[in-house]
Amino acid sequence: MSSDKKRKIYPLIDLPPEVRAVTFAKCSRSPKSFLEIAKELTEEKSSQFHEKWVVGYGHSSVAEHAVLSLALENVSILATKVVEDNRLASYTEKSTRYQIFDRDSFYSPKKIIDSSLADLYQDTLSHLFDTYLKLTPKIQEFVKKREPKTKDTPLKMYETICKAKACDIVRYILPTATLTNLGMTINARVLEHAIRKLLSHPLDEMNEIGQEVKKVSLEITPTLVKYADRNDYLVEAGKAVLKVANEFLEFDKVEDVDNVRLVAYDEDAEDRIICGLLYRFSKHPYKQIRKRVLEMSPQEKEKIVDEALKRMGEHDWPIREFEHTYYTFDILIDYGAFRDIQRHRICTQTNQDISCDLGYNMPDEISESGLKNDFVECMEKAHYTYKEVYKKFPKEAQYVVPLAYKKRVLITWNLRELFHFIKLRSSPKGHISYRRVAQKIYQLIKEKHPLLAKYILVDLS
């Protein structure tokens, strides 16, 4: 092999995102190396390229090579879930488990502050934070008494563990208006869509975040997000479906159902997976393979699944063919635990607005430590304020809701992702609320398809 044909793998560093994107884009039609292409480019030439090919001709995939890392500070917890509803990005959020939040760190919607509800809103959120800060040291002491330090545990580690357990318990009092920080790494193509969604959202905070994200992003990628704007379709479709939902769902009472319910799944899931496995390692058409699979005995099917999974190590995922079947779950969970479940974005999530109408979860430790009255008072005060605000501002009323209150989410996962979700979220290190969800999901899959559940790692303790 000649020296100029020798394999080379190297990073492209110190290039602006738009220049980097053009450098990769040009390789499809240029015989030059990436470094040679990059040397010929200026930011002005890159912008011209994007105007012509990405904006003019719609070659949007080029924008995926322009990657931005954005820091969002002092945005509400409610806003973080809107921002994070873009699956092709990476996020890290200030933790309610490892940090104690300041008393005045909550968002106040202008519509509420400019109304007669301003004092009620401010008083309620101040009360929630006052109670949160009052209970935090008490719960820490309770945790220490219940789980005394062992001589083998370093003091600093012990203090960190106790603080985390206490914060996990007391965070239920925090409202979704709580201000937090979020780090986001995202490519320009996804960012453009994310900005459109934010600018089309019914809440002012989201619109403001969208405008600020766009402004900051234009300084880095002056072309690729330039035309991201409010999207009439997103706005009007939401309003129209809300109208027909109110027309067709005239129920007096919301049914009380299980916290986790399997509402849709492929009855032939085992056959779908086995067909996918055999398809990959053959030259036959799917129809021919499926005909053979339908003739197989249970023992033959089990052998194929066993061979595909029995060599998995602790840190392995199933091979990709386990994505060929899907399960849809209707989940009722407290908002605090939902924030962790929502992070699993290799799925399709449909979220309802949060409210105080579906009840709340209270950690056992609150009662055991004698602090139940303080907790219940917070929940009742928040519920009253929520109802009052909802009459005028139904969307803005969500900011009052503490993380203890339950909400619904509809999630469709493929089986391969469920292997990951169940293993991670059923772990004893996790929060009890989402552990119960992961355990229930596993049990429901096992009921329907024991062969496919056989190798899912789950902790049912």
pTM: 0.92
| pLDDT at 431 > cutoff 90 | no
User: Regarding predicted confidence, which is higher, 392 or 44?
Assistant: 392
Looking at residue 55, its pLDDT comes to 62
Q: What is the pLDDT averaged over residues 434-448?
A: 97
What's the CA gap between 234 and 197, in Å, rounded?
A: 7
Q: Provide the pLDDT confidence category of residue 1 given band limits of 50, 70 and 90.
A: low
Q: Provide the pLDDT confidence category of residue 54 given band limits of 50, 70 and 90.
A: low
pLDDT digits (tens, 9 = 90+) for 177-197: 999 999 999 999 999 999 999
Looking at residue 48, its pLDDT comes to 79
| pLDDT at 56 > cutoff 70 | no
pLDDT digits (tens, 9 = 90+) for 118-134: 999 999 999 999 999 99
Mean pLDDT of the chain: 93
One-letter amino acid at 357 equals D
pLDDT digits (tens, 9 = 90+) for 24-35: 888 887 889 998
Kindly list the domain boundaries of the chain, sorted by start residue.
3-65
Q: What percent of the chain has pLDDT over 70?
A: 97
First to last CA, the chain: 58
